[in-house]
Amino acid sequence: MDFGIFLLVQHRDRHKTSGQIIHEAIEQVKTADCLGFSTAWFAEHHFNNYGLCPSPLMMAAHCAGVTSNIRLGTGVVIAPLYSPPRLIEDIAFVDQLSNGRLNVGIGGGYQHYEFERFGTTLENAKERTLETLDMIELGLTRKKFQFDGEFLKQPTTAISVRPVQQPIPPIWVATADTRLMAKAIANDYHVFVSGWLGGEKLLKNVRDQIDAIAVQEGKSTDQVKVGLLRFAFASDNAAEVDRYIECARYQQRIAVSLKQRTESLEDDYMVAEKPYENEISLEKIKDNLPVGSVDTVIERLLRDIKTVNPLHVAIQTQFGDLDHATMLKQLQLWSQEIIPAVKAEIANWKRTEQAAPADAQR
């Protein structure tokens, strides 16, 4: 199992320019690369401050030039907003620019606000995403391909730039939609899930859903490749922890308003923060997440890993208006203390599992 970072590139601090926030995110990727994190993930959002990266593939291409080892992932490309042949070309091109370090995260989108401003709707977005996944595989594995789907059509076409990774770069499908999840599991793609602000119960429900779909698709539940995105933050400073929790709530509030079409904007593109129905308290958020002292974070993260059994964990330590210097210190802390401790405990689990059959035979 390995660890990555997830970057939303969120703009809450009105004293900072968008350029400052973008370059701080790039600095965090460079730091994560030096510290040995496996992957940096970039979200895609449009026309508001929820996330400033409109093109995770463009961000990955840039970061490929300023890093050496870290993999670069789209978290995610919102497939229905793309022309599929252009997307296929861009995937192959960025995989070349990164020398085979690209992870392709695909999702169907959920924010009405964004879709409306591209002149489209969320209607049939999941179906179009399913067809896009088929086209990506065809376009990158065949010398030429054509496609005649219900929503997407493509005349015979050759993708002139081929990816470094063969047959295709790893595909990660981020969704709660059962059809997309089934597609990912059937095709041996990665399933990328988020715990949001929920705790162990939510994560168990997610894992149970994955297992049920795996059985339905004739797959062993142990074979499913799962990635987990988790809000996480470690500090012995109670004020820092409380600030992180407040920023986590801020992110959730504006995400919900954009999804439910209840958003109101200030200064053209800043989404106003407002509570939503059935919002959980700050104390409950703190109880649910791997946040707090180093020991608390390790304990809760191990709980989450045992529940979900992921191959990859992406931590999101940066959102809201959390201080950039604090984020760089977080990466150091995770690299030097938290990740080694978590990996050591997982190794102990495996040794115990391997010893159990031998003990049973005695």
User: In 3D, which of 108, 29, 11, 38 has the Cα closest to residue 339?
Assistant: 38
| Tokens of residue 149, six digits | 């789907």
pLDDT of residue 355: 76
CA-CA distance, 360 to 345, in Å (whole number)?
Answer: 23
CA 347 to the chain's CA centroid:
25
Res 352: pLDDT: 81
Give the contacts of 62 (CB within 8 A, at least 6 positions apart): 26
Backbone angles phi, psi at 4, to 5 degrees: -130, 180
pLDDT digits (tens, 9 = 90+) for 215-266: 999 999 999 999 999 999 999 999 999 999 999 999 999 999 998 888 888 8
147-171: string of b/e by CB count within 10 Å (b at 16+)? beeeebebeebebeebbebeebbeb
Residues of the chain with pLDDT under 50: none
CB atoms within 10 A of CB 217: 15
Return the CA Rg of the chain: 20
Rounded to whole angstroms, the Cα distance separating 208 from 126 reads 22
pLDDT at position 362 = 54
pLDDT value of position 195: 87
Q: Tell me phi and psi for residue 164, to 5 degrees.
A: -70, -45
User: For the chain, what are the domain ranges?
Assistant: 2-361
- Please state which of the four CATH numbers 1.10.510.10, 3.20.20.30, 3.40.50.970, 1.10.3720.10 is assigned to the domain occupying 2-361: 3.20.20.30
Q: Say what the pTM is.
A: 0.94
C-alpha distances in Å from residue 251, one per residue of 3, 49, 238, 272, 280 = 22, 10, 20, 11, 13
Tokens of 260: 């439910």
